[in-house]
Amino acid sequence: MFEDVKMPEGMSAEALEHLMYPKNYGKLEDADGIGVALDEKTKEYVIFYTKLDNDIIKDVKFATNGCQDTVVIGSMFTEMIKNNDTEYAQKAIAKMHDKLGKLTPQQQVCADIVFTAFIASLKNFENKLGGLDEELHLLKMKESCEVPQNNEGEKNDR
């Protein structure tokens, strides 16, 4: 589809496809687990919705107010784990790191916020099975994707 498009430096055709046409974006009304990862400094968040049948992820969606990197990573990751078991999904986090290659520190936080929201959704499901009445499970990020400022006090581009 993007054969004749000049790719931005460092961006694969697959990443561009996910940027232009994100997969699994939005709310999953009948989710079994809902997880939220929050960057308190920037207020960026990812909400992850999982629909489970035993250990199989039957459906998955995500939503974010984050940057394009977060959308691309969320789209790629949800496609990777859909219709697989939760054990595979946990291993897919490492596979995504390999697939994404070298990331800037900010991009790494974008990836981590997606993966953290997924883990929070599994924790929410587990808590519900244990009898806890929890609407969603929130995990706060230790690292921020806040863009560092240069010497002149201006924010650097991501």
- The confidence band for 148, taking pLDDT boundaries of 50, 70 and 90, is low
What's the pLDDT at 22? Answer: 93
φ/ψ region of 51 (left if φ > 0, alpha if ψ in -120 to 50, else beta) reads beta
| Cβ-based neighbour number of residue 123 at 10 Å | 17
What's the pLDDT at 16? Answer: 78
Q: Position 46: which residue type?
A: V
What's the pLDDT at 78? Answer: 97
Least confident of 27-36, 39-48, 148-157: 148-157
- The confidence band for 2, taking pLDDT boundaries of 50, 70 and 90, is very low
In order of start, what are the domains of the chain with their CATH numbers? 13-140 (3.90.1010.10)
